[in-house]
Each structure stands twice: as C-alpha cells, then as structure tokens.
Amino acid sequence: MTDHSAFTVTPEWLSENLTRSDISIVDASWYLPAAGRNGYQEYQKAHIPGAVFFDQDVIADKSSDLPHTIPSVEFFAEQVGAMGIRSDDMIIVYDGPGLFSSARVWWMFRVMGAKRVFILDGGIDGWQKLGLPVTSEPTVKTSVKFVPSYQENAVVSFEEMRSIVDQRSAQIADARGAGRFTGSDAEPRAGMRSGHMPGARNVPATVLSQDGKLKKLSELRAIFDDAGVDLSQPVVTSCGSGVTAAVISLALASLGHEKNRLYDGSWSEWGGRTDTPVATGEAE
C-alpha cells in the first residue's frame, strides 16, 4: 500500500505528460502581502508550458465583503471554460512553493464537480530547481464548456458554522499558525480579534508539508492524532480566509476521510464579527 497521496503528481510525471490533450495545467499562485511575492507577475515571467493563471481574487463572489469567497457555479464555469478547462480534464494545479494556495483551487474544482484534480509536488519553485522547462509566452486556449456539478454540502456557511460551534456537532481543524490560534499573535487583518472558535483544534497547514510536498500518509495520521482530531468523525476545516483550510482538506482526503467540509468564511468572517464566541490559549 502506498504511503503517498493519490491527489499529487511529481514534476517528473508532469514533464513526461505535458502534451497530453486531456491535461489542463493551472497556476494558482496567491500570496499574503508579507510574502513579498505576486503570483500573476511571476506567472507572466515564467510558468509551466501550457499553464493558465487562476486568479483567486477574480474568480470569487464579488458581492461578498470577505476575501476570495467561492463564486457562483455559473461564474466559475464561465471563467474556467474560457481558460480551456473541461470538467472531465485531468487538472494539475500548482503554486509557487508547492502547497500553499494550490490546495484551495484543487478544492474549488472538486466542489464544482471535477473528478480528476491533482496538485504538483513542489510547485513551480521545485519544478525550476529540477531544471524543467518554463516559458513567458502567453498560453492561448480555445474556450470550452465546463459542465459543473456543484457539491453544495462541501461548503459550510456562517449560520451552519455557528450551529456546529454551539452544538459541537463536528470537529473543527484550524490551519492557522499556533500564535494566531491561541491569540498570542495579532491577526494580519487590522481590527480582527485573535483566538479560535471554541472547541477547535489547531492543525497548522505548514506542518502538513515538507519541501513543498504533502507529507507521507503515516505522518499525516500522526499529526491529526497529536492534534486531537478523530479521523473516524466529521471535520470542518477553517483558516484565515479559506485558502490554507484546503491544505487540511487535501490531507484528510488523502487519508480517505470523506466527511470533511470547509468553512469558506473562516476567521475573516468569524473573527471579524462581534457576535461570535472566541476562545484563546491552547485547544480545550
């Protein structure tokens, strides 16, 4: 039995399959301001041949005051169809360092009904370290029809999240760093409270990967066990704004955990309100 995720591909595999007609490559690079990197600018300078750029701040619900909220099914299908991506394609998603923002787009494609969605080990940083080809030439794709099949139950709303917290009806796995989780570090968004949802467990997204690659399944199991997450029970994933929560979602799916959902508003919504309970310190 393999000890690696079924949802990742190696740079070597992708380099050997770049010309396959059923493969769509997606650059999903997105960064927090503190990273000092711009995903789209880097894409313009160097991307994997044939890759299209997925802007998570554009392909979003613009009616929401929360950052990069999941868009309507119709808007998502329109946007990715214009990129030349079909729902039955083998979709390979990557970002810069390997496992930061790519998981969010991997998750979105799956929520919208795509079945064959994978993440590139090591991202484009790892790809370039191996000396594999990149280009600055624009990727030109013919518009196609993306046929969505929305998995509504994969997304948790604020109202449902409030009920989950109040009733402790599901485990909550928070992907933010320990300082933000305990409340000892300030949130990067001004005026937002620090801390976590009562009952949540801290599973920092950064501990789930090494060198831009998702850790082995045996290591992932140990991480969840140490965090007090019971893999036999439902889990809701959360983070700062719904991006790195998907790294936990990826890790759970890789372990065969099917009863996991993502709270899209995450801490940007919960911590930005004044009527939500907030706990500080270590997990209960």
3-state helix, strand, coil in the chain (%, to 5): 30, 15, 55
Q: Which of 108, 172, 236, 239 is catalytic?
A: 239
Radius of gyration of the chain (CA): 18
C-alpha distances out from residue 216 to 4, 123, 157, Å: 5, 17, 31
Ramachandran area for residue 212 (φ above 0: left; ψ -120 to 50: alpha; else beta) = left
- Whose tokens are 């007090």? That residue is 228
DSSP notation for 105-155: HHHHHHHTT-S-EEEETTHHHHHHHTT---B-SPP------------GGGE
| Distance in angstroms (rounded) separating the CA atoms of residues 90 and 172 | 31
* Residue among 85, 94, 89 nearest 120 (CA): 94
| Exposure letters 208-232 (e unless 16+ CB within 10 A, then b) | bbeebbbbebeebeebbeebebebe
Catalytic-residue membership of 239: yes
Structure tokens at 272: 């930005």
Catalytic residues: 239
